[in-house]
Chain A
Amino acid sequence: MTNNKSSLEDIRSYYLQKAQNFKQRVIVCAGTGCVANGALDVYKSILDAIEKQGIKASTCIDSPNEDCNVEIQISKSGCQGFCQAGPLVSIEPYGYLYVHVKPEDATDIVEQTLMNGQVVDRLVYIDPLSGNACPRTVDIPFYNKQNRVVLGRCGHIDPEEIKEFISLGGYESARKAFLEMTSEQVCEEILQSGLRGRGGGGFITGRKWQFALAEKNKKKYIICNGDEGDPGAFMDRSLMEGNPHRVIEGIMIAARAVNADEAYVYVRAEYPLAVERIRKAVADAEAEGILGDNIFGSKFNMKCHVMEGAGAFVCGEETALMASIEGQRGMPMPKPPFPAQKGLFGKPTVINNVETLATVPLIIKNGSSKYRELGTKNSPGTKTFALTGHIVNTGLIEVPFGTTLREIIYEIGGGVTDDKGRVIENGFKAVQIGGPSGGCLTKDHLDIPIDFDSVKEVGAMVGSGGLVVMNKDTCMVKIAHFFMQFTQNESCGKCVPCREGTKQMLSLLTDIVEGKADSETLDLLESLAEAVRDGSLCGLGKTAPNPVLSTLRYFRSEYEAHVLQKRCPAGQCKALALPEILSGLCKGCGLCKRKCPVGAISGEKKEPHKIDQNKCIKCGTCAEACKFNAIVGV
């Protein structure tokens, strides 16, 4: 039992004593992206390759079968962030990061690096902008422009080894909160830090805790919201998979702050690894006496449950999430009452996002003023983002608030790409920030410092932190259509504006991209979007029109081209395509005529051909077939 200070220290010194035997460490990224690219095979191959050398690497700090003299430790980590370049393998103490590693690279890694300390050159990342080789993590622009505070050891430590977490000072903040601070002090410290909810709303976390603390009810709950539902977002997942104990520690501190003795971690079932890791982390923490009765000898008790959500987007909304835990249909309830007053099972409840809770131990450890050194005045600290879209380096990043989009896209992201992944100059068109509930920002916004308020001001939201970069060939109406399709499918169907409104917005957008809209459509779309935004019951509905409203605001001319001229400026909307054969380029070879599935092309041999627009179904087969690039507009 770890009911006193010495025990955490015992574990720490035990681990450190064991660990000092290790001279080298191989860390294979076992985040979802890398695993999908074969990281587990890489792991196994490296193990085998080491064994071929006649030694056995240590896979576990205190496995009884291990030989103490083994000098090489091998472990799997959570997401290292640079998903674009996975599978990733880092080698300590050198700080090497190998990218795109395949199982057949294992022998070289073992023979050259582990045996001889040399870099395997072909596995080193080459910065496409400078052409420089970047053997170490710190050399890679993707990493060295970031400030990984919350992600910190995520991607380095073994997420399934509680002792390693403790050896790095883990659970010290929780112990401090339970033994050295009062509830009021914990709330105050978090309030002073200015920490704001990372789930999307950006509410001041300390204030939320104070509301819950003020409630007289004896029974209170903490909920950790891990129902990350935005398409393309994987910040919370990476945290839960990569450093689950950090999340648990945050939950414990929150519980201390409001005097709750029971917590739920709500993770979507589509994150099986996160569920498994969090479950193991809870079990391990219980086994070490960190969770359970009489925590750190403080007389406080705490029980932590892990609950799988069935994957409804709306269950990320706090009242719907609570309904889901209670076994009800996941539908939001009107607020007030707020969860802090009447939440789970009718008891005062604090519900925080994974990233928020993972930030908490840091604040308790270093103090709020230290925390405020990063970020802006009203949005202190750092924020993780999932960077995707038409960009060189996709992945999981963390930057201080106040960083500009330009820095993220060009310095960390490495610039904008075309559809085939090649870097293009001046190719940037827009970035969708905040997932389907966020908005589209343009090149005019590249230099605004990203924080909760400034992003909101320009009609988007930080949200949970999705960043989708779009190049100039993107049709913004289609993008709005895409996001509307998502929110419409994911609306719970409870309130009228969201249920019916998203359906009708989608229908209007479909009309626009299919060229069936008229001059009144845009006005109707706009007033409907506003009515949905202003009147919906929960955050999902209130933010669902954001992609439409922000694209209408910044790309209205594109909408007008679709509606008035029946033309898609980006050439993406099939229904509006007007295929045409340029007579100057057409050699009259007749290939297009033969390929056309509906016989819409006619022409004599060696004479320029023509397309009958009435017959054409705009499939684009002709343009693909033409060897002379004579067919345009489809």
Chain B
Amino acid sequence: MNTEKFLTINGKQVEFNAERNLLEVIRKANIDLPTFCYHSDLSIYGSCRLCIVEIEGMGVVTSCSTTPKAGMIVKTHTDKLRKMRKIYLELLLANHHQGCTTCEKSDCCKLHDLARRMNVTAVRFKCAEETKAIDTSNECLVRDTNKCILCGDCVRACSEIQGIGAVDFAYRGAKATVIPAFGKDLSKVECVYCGLCASVCPTGAITPKNHIERVWSAINNENKKVVAQIAPAVRVALGEMFGLEAGTVTTGKIVAALKMIGFDKIYDTSFAADLTVIEETNEFIDRKTKKGKLPLFTSCCPAWVKFAEQYYSDLLENISSCRSPQQMFGSLAKETLPKSLGIDKENLYVVSIMPCTAKKFEAKRPEFSTDGNADVDVVLTTQELGKMIKQAGIQFNDLMPESLDMPLGFKTGAGVIFGASGGVSEAVLRYASEKLTGLKLESVDFKQVRGNKGILEKTVTIGDIELKLAIVHGLKNARAIAEKVRQGQCDYDFIEVMACPGGCIAGAGQPVSLECKTKQQRTNGLYDADKMLQLHKSQDNPYVLKCYKDELGEIGGHKAHELLHTSYQSRKRINNEGFSLLGGSGEERLQVSVCVGTSCYLKGSQKLLQKIMNYVREKELENAVDVRATFCFEKCDNGPNVKVGDKQISKCNLDTVCAEIAEQLKATV
């Protein structure tokens, strides 16, 4: 035996190899040391102190931050360690809102689980009395700091994987808290609603927003026809909530359950994904052959789209104008189903079942509503669907599978693999290669674009055309690629971006899983589902073709554009409000906004602002003019910038502003 690679854990020799830390060695030895802040995808943090072990010669150390060394003698549950862990859990519980029975996370809370496992039977410390406000400002996520145990997983996930940092620590000591900048609501900061924070949160401090009641009331409204679309990734994960192995495909059971709940029709988002493949591939080939704007970024992921709108407004033209499958389904459903189901459009209620929290935000984007009627009425996450099934008392595992409704329930394998990172690219390749070469594609698998790499770069040759692809997941990786594109340092043709590591199968709406292998199992499930289907190429979907013939007309044509495409907006300003500095009472006051951003400030805008206010006061115009301090007009070279009414004036001075104010006031009188 080579003793160089062995250490002793609780008296037993354990071999170690490439484990990054002692904790992983211990877990490999079938001892599940408790942790809150350890996450294999994130940096070592060392705050929860539960993975403590005693090592001879070193005393008590956290195993997550200890490098395994040959000959170490490690103990994991001495009296001292057990007592310490128990005290730490008691301390956390004392500072934790203990409304466990009504908590969103009650069935999968790690704190709850560990307290039980560590035999915590009483909390000997004083419990927190103060209750902090719950942030419900957005459609996707609920933040309840009363349940936060400050493990920092969300903070690190948001900055290390998504490269955003929408939440971070603030304040010290017992006042420490995790909040968005300046204590704002999540909706007022750069959060893209990917929900990664919620999926790593061990307690109920950040959870997907629950919209189950909205669905129930639609179902129980006799006038409404409620239809569902099921996203690809849902079918390989929902079973986990009922004890099935991750990756088990349960489409048929989901259909049966939804029918029992009271849904009228059950369709498949994969149908819309097939549609997306057709539209997007044509857009891509068009750009490629006509030397249009490349690379083309995919647009299926709403978190990525918001991210791009926030940080890469200059690249918005590079993003495919195709709506995401969810929204293609929504608009198509609202366009075609009322007729075929024989109802008014107002009475059609579209529910999407999604693995994603950002989809809730996407469905609320104003461009996806017509006259106040949203294309997708409500988005449920996989988790919420599971809860609904449980609420209805349905014995999911015993259900006989049922089939989806036609036509919007028919899909090819290409539409199913959308749920895994690389899936969109593969689906596009399956269509593009036939379209470009005119030859029938015999082997449909493009395994080279599959895999877990955060940034996967591949060149695929189709006929005599070389396509350079990048498949990216995690927005930090997306940022790296987008920077390259912005600086012209790459020559990709097509870039697939998914915010969640691994793609939609790892979305924040999926059942909570603490196991590393889950993602791979779900991915395998999707590729298996592809294999089990008769058709694998979107262009072979007869219902999609029929849809073009009957409803949409030409691919990329006028109607298709109206229903299946969209446009994007810059979100560089998350919040466009300024500060009103003069409080007059006139109802329709002329707005005078002075930029106090850094560049204008340095050019004297603050003094200018003061002078304008003095001018308004002197002329007693308080009730006619509203003077505001605002931020960047993005004309920094020509500062100071002032906006009077709708007119923006650069290189401004007091005279020009006053003249403009006088002029505009005269015009209104």
Chain A residues within CB distance 8 Å of chain B: 312, 314, 329, 331, 333-336, 488-497, 499-504, 507, 524, 527-528, 531, 534-537
CB pairs A–B below 8 angstroms (8 shown): A329-B169, A492-B172, A494-B47, A495-B47, A497-B91, A504-B91, A536-B49, A537-B47
Contact partners of B124 in chain A: CB under 8 A: 524
Contact B172 A496 (CB under 8 A): no
Closest to A541 in B: B49
Q: How far is the CA of A503 from the CA of B175 in the complex (A)?
A: 10
Residues of B within 8 A of A496 (CB): 47-50, 88, 91-92, 149-150
Asked if B46 is at the interface (CB within 8 A of a chain A CB), the reply is: yes
Interchain CB contact (< 8 A) of A495 among B49, B84, B94, B126: B49
User: A497, B49: Cβ atoms under 8 Å?
Assistant: yes
CB-CB under 8 A from B173, the residues of chain A are 488-493, 499, 502-503
Q: Interface with A: B60-68, B345-353, B430-438, which one? A: B60-68
B242 sits at the interface (CB 8 A): no
Report which residue of B45, B49, B62 has the largest number of chain A beta carbons within 10 angstroms of its beta carbon: B49
List 11 additional A-B contacts (Cβ < 8 Å) besides A334-B65, A496-B150, A537-B47. Answer: A333-B46, A336-B66, A489-B172, A493-B169, A494-B47, A495-B46, A496-B50, A496-B88, A524-B124, A531-B87, A536-B49
The answer to whether A334 and B44 have CB atoms under 8 Å apart is yes
* Interface check B174, CB cutoff 8 A: yes
Which has the most chain B C-beta neighbours within 10 Å: A314, A502, A504, A507?
A: A504
Chain B neighbourhood of A531, CB < 8 A: 83-84, 87-88
Tell me the number of A-to-B contacts counted with CB atoms below 8 Å: 107
Contacts of B126 in A (CB 8 A): 504, 507
Instruction: List residues of B whose CB falls within 8 A of some A CB.
Output: 44-50, 52, 59-60, 62, 64-67, 80, 83-84, 87-88, 91-92, 94-95, 124-126, 149-150, 152, 168-169, 171-176
Q: Which of A335, A504, A527, A536 contacts B94 (CB 8 A)?
A: A504
Interface centre among B50, B88, B94 (most CB of A within 10 A): B88
Q: Which 3 A-B pairs have the closest CB atoms?
A: A493-B176, A334-B65, A334-B46
- Tell me whether A534 and B60 are in contact in the complex, defined as CB-CB below 8 angstroms, given that A329-B169, A493-B176 are known contacts: yes
In angstroms, Cα B52 to Cα A524, docked, is 21
A535 pairs with B52, CB closer than 8 A:
yes
Q: Please, how many angstroms separate the alpha-carbon atoms of A536 and B176 in the complex?
A: 16
A54 to B298, CA, bound (A): 86
Closest residue of chain A to B52, judged by CB? Answer: A535
Please name all residues of chain B whose beta carbon is closer than 8 Å to the beta carbon of A492 when the two chains form the complex.
172-173, 176
Report the minimum CB–CB distance from A403 to chain B (whole Å). Answer: 31
Residue contact A500 to B174, C-beta cutoff 8 Å? yes
- Please judge, given known A-B contacts A493-B175, A534-B60, A537-B49, whether A504 and B44 are in contact too, CB under 8 Å: no
Q: From A493, which residue of chain B is reached at the shortest CB distance?
A: B176
CA distance A492 to B176 in the complex (A): 7
Task: State in angstroms the CA–CA spacing of A531 and B80 once bound together.
Answer: 9
**CB–CB A527/B87 < 8 A:** yes
With A and B bound together, what is the CA distance between A331 and B175 in angstroms? 14
CB pair A500 B95 closer than 8 Å: yes
- CB–CB B125/A507 < 8 A: yes
Evaluate whether A537 and B46 lie within 8 angstroms (CB atoms) in the complex, with A331-B169, A504-B94 already known.
yes
Residues of chain B with a CB closer than 8 A to A335's CB: 65
Tell me if A535 and B84 are in contact (CB < 8 A).
yes
Pairwise interchain contact A534-B172, C-beta atoms closer than 8 A: no
Contact in complex: B176, A499 (CB < 8 Å): yes
> Which of B44, B47, B94, B168 has its CB near the most chain A CB atoms (within 10 A)?
B47
Kindly report which residue of chain A lies nearest to residue B49, judged by CB atoms. A535
What distance in Å separates the Cβ of A444 from its nearest Cβ neighbour in chain B? 28
Q: How far is the CA of A528 from the CA of B84 in the complex (A)?
A: 8
Q: Is there an interface contact between A493 and B174, defined as CB atoms closer than 8 Å?
A: yes
A494 to B46, CA, bound (A): 9
**Residues of B with C-beta under 8 A to A537:** 46-47, 49, 62
Q: Contact: B46 with A500, CB < 8 Å?
A: no
Chain B CB within 10 A, most for which of A494, A500, A527, A536: A500
Docked Cα-Cα span, A499 to B59, in Å, equals 22
Q: Separation in Å of the B88 CB from the closest CB of chain A?
A: 5
- The residue in chain A whose Cβ has the minimal distance to the Cβ of B170 is A329
A24 and B64 alpha carbons, distance in the complex (Å): 64
A309 CB → nearest B CB, Å: 14
Closest to B59 in A: A534
CA distance A146 to B44 in the complex (A): 47
Chain A residues with Cβ under 8 A from B168's Cβ? 329
CA distance A502 to B172 in the complex (A): 12
Please name all residues of chain A whose beta carbon is closer than 8 Å to the beta carbon of B87 when the two chains form the complex.
Answer: 497, 501, 527-528, 531
**A520 (CB) vs chain B CBs: closest residue:** B124
- Across the interface, which residues of B come within 8 angstroms of A507, CB to CB? 125-126
Verify B88–A535 contact, CB threshold 8 A.
yes
Residues from chain A with Cβ under 8 Å of B84 in the complex: 497, 531, 534-535
Q: Complex: how many Å from CA A197 to CA B260?
A: 72
Whose C-beta in chain B lies nearest to the C-beta of A495?
A: B47
**Are B92 and A500 in touch, CB under 8 angstroms?**
yes
Distance A535 CA – B124 CA, assembled complex (angstroms): 19
Q: Return A286 CB to nearest CB of chain B, in Å.
A: 29
Contact partner of A527 (CB less than 8 A), chosen from B83, B92, B149, B169, is: B83
CA distance A501 to B173 in the complex (A): 10
Question: Residues of A contacting B175 with CB < 8 Å?
Answer: 493
Question: Are A493 and B65 CB-contacts (below 8 A) given A500-B174, A504-B125, A528-B87?
Answer: no
A139 to chain B minimum Cβ distance, whole angstroms, is 47
Q: Are B62 and A499 in contact (CB under 8 A)?
A: no
Q: What's the nearest-Cβ distance from chain A to residue B658, in Å?
A: 42
Give A334 to B44 CA distance when docked, in angstroms: 8
Of all chain B residues, which has the CB nearest A505? B125
Residue of A nearest to B174 (CB): A503
CA distance A240 to B90 in the complex (A): 44
Q: Are B88 and A497 in contact (CB under 8 A)?
A: yes
Least CB distance from A545 to B in Å reads 12
Cα A528 to Cα B89 with chains together (Å): 12
Q: Decide: B150 and A499 in contact? CB cutoff 8 A.
A: yes
Write out the residue numbers on chain B whose beta carbons fall within 8 Å of the beta carbon of A312.
172
Complex-state Cα separation, A312 to B172, whole angstroms:
9
Taking the nearest CB of chain B, how far is it from the CB of A78, in angstroms?
31
Bound Cα distance A500, B67 (Å)? 27
B62 near A334: Cβ-Cβ < 8 Å:
yes
A-side contacts of B92, CB under 8 Å: 496, 500
In the complex, the chain A residue whose C-beta lies closest to that of B89 is A496
Cβ-defined partner of B60 (8 Å) among A501, A527, A535: A535
Contacting residues, chain A, for B95 (C-beta < 8 A): 500, 503
Once the chains bind, are B44 and A500 in contact (CB under 8 Å)?
no
CB-CB under 8 A from A499, the residues of chain B are 150, 173-174, 176
With a CB–CB cut-off of 8 A, which chain B residues contact A490? 172-173
A599–B137 alpha-carbon span in the complex (Å): 53
Min C-beta distance of A551 to chain B, whole Å? 20
Q: Which of A329, A335, A493, A496 has the most CB of B within 10 A?
A: A496
Nearest CB in chain A: distance from B172 CB, A: 5
Residue in A335, A494, A537 with the greatest tally of chain B CB atoms within 10 Å: A494
User: CA A172 – CA B44 in complex, angstroms?
Assistant: 44
Residues of B close to A502: CB separation below 8 A = 173-174
CB-CB under 8 A from B50, the residues of chain A are: 496
Q: In the assembled complex, which residues on chain B have CB atoms less than 8 Å from the CB atom of A491?
A: 172-174, 176
Name, among B52, B88, B174, B176, the residue most crowded by chain A CB atoms within 10 Å (CB to CB): B174
Instruction: Report how far A496 CA is from B59 CA in the complex, Å.
Output: 19
CB nearest neighbor in B for A511:
B126
